[in-house]
Amino acid sequence: MGEVEVPADAYYGASTQRAVLNFPISGQPFPRRFIRALGLVKKAAAQTNSELGLLSKRRASAIARAAQEVIDGKLDDQFPIDIYQTGSGTSTNTNANEVIANRATEILGGKRGSKLVHPNDHVNLCQSSNDVIPTAIQVSSAIAIADELIPALQQLGKALESKSKEFWPVIKTGRTHLQDATPIRLGQEFKGYAGQVEESIRRARAALDELASVPLGGTAVGTGLNSHPRFARLACARLAKATGIPIHETRNHFHAQATLDVLVAAHGGLRTIAVSLWKIGSDIRLMGTGPVAGLGELRLPETQPGSSIMPGKVNPVIVESLTMVVARVLGNDLTVTMCGQSGSLFELNVMMPVAGVAGLESIALLAASARNFRERCIEGLQATERGPELVERSPMLATALNPVIGYDEAAKIAKESIRTGKSIRQLAGARGVSEAVLKKVLDLGKMTKPGLEGPGGGG
């Protein structure tokens, strides 16, 4: 392909430089999480190849030391290739091989570029870009879920549970179809939000389980050509030990390399988590509308001035930040889905880099926004008197009269309450319902739990 000039101080070589020149697209290289995982794979491979007698201990040790520098972030500036590159990520795998080979050569006392440690023959031994890159994507995503997303969701869930207990005595008007419904405890609403987060944690763990089955060992097309039969199992065991995640060799290399089904499935869990957070944030934002012309049932923490022209205005900016993250995650989900659908051609998916980066971004954004939402919104929420005030005036309390005067008469009372502003209690009493009966059926506390003494069904 002719000569190409490589920076004199670079650890990478001509193949990497060609990729830099070929893909001047976004200026965005692979993120640190991915480069770390790539280093983990190369280190595990070198140690495994030494154990199998395929590499000398001295050379394998040097490769492992160089790979550890990649893991630690000491060589991040040596990974300059744009993520919008060859669809298999071959350019970046080659980049890693060149960097680690040259650094390992230095460690052994050799001259950079001398190939005392060869990028293909030694660093890439028993591997191919086609199994290394998806493995690094899956490992980096699994680590991010375990170390960042799940802990952030767990802390958010605890905060919502705490608010559920704090708000339990507050009885307010329930709402369905954005219209008044039967009473509910504010604490019950927050119990629902905590339940959503609990399910989100389960889905995050399920996504992690999907990602833990990696294609390492399949080499070019899944057959394992030029790879020792025991290589994948031993290398995956090392990855599992290094990460604390149960990484293991896939049961079907042909499926694992030919598709992005694992990433599509894992991101489906992230999509559901994002939608759950949107629901929680949107409800809290609506309950905090006001302070005069809105619902005003919650008082959101004041985090910053809300307007450059309206003095004293405070906006729900933390929720707005959260919902923008959700929008981005949903966009990433479409990206991952399109990559899985359109990039899987015969024995290889050729849209791996962008799918991997989209997934990593989603994990990072969800973790950060869940943490921020908890710290700057949930923990500082306060209940106002507005909810209890409105529930006594709600025409839907007429539902409790169904067993006493029937649905049709109760409906007439509800309509009259809406028209006149009089309470259900007043209007029912005027129709001859005794105070003792009203006290029994209009017990707001009883209306927030199962039972046949109170209202009938509704929708």
Q: Which residues are catalytic?
A: 177, 307
DSSP code at position 123: I
Strand ranges inside 194-289, DSSP E: 213-214, 248-249
3-state helix, strand, coil split of the chain in percent (to 5) is 60, 5, 30
Q: Determine contact, residues 361/332, Cβ cutoff 8 Å.
A: yes
3-class state of residue 183 by DSSP: strand
Distance CA 119, CA 124 (A): 6
* Residue pair 297/286 in contact by the 8 Å Cβ criterion: no
Q: Are 85 and 23 in contact (CB under 8 A)?
A: yes
How far apart CA 333 and CA 340 sit, in angstroms, is 11
Residue in the block written with tokens 């000569």: 3
Which amino acid appears at position 431 of this protein? R
44: helix, strand or coil: helix
How far is residue 272's CA from residue 367's CA, in Å, rounded to a whole number? 14
Give yes or no for a cis peptide into 31 (omega within 30° of 0): no
Of 360, 361, 367, 359, which Cα lies nearest the Cα of 337?
Answer: 359
Cα distance between residue 221 and residue 258, in whole Å: 8
Cβ atoms 193, 283 nearer than 8 A? yes
DSSP state letters, 329-368: HHHHHHHHHHHHHHHEETTEES-HHHHHHHHHHHHHHHHH
Taking the CA atoms of 344, 349, 351 and 353 in sequence, report the sign of the dihedral they define: positive
Paired tokens of 238: 């090392």
111, two tokens: 């001259």
In angstroms, the first-to-last Cα distance of the chain is: 71
Beta carbons within 8 Å of 381's beta carbon, 6+ residues apart? 163, 284, 298, 299, 300, 301
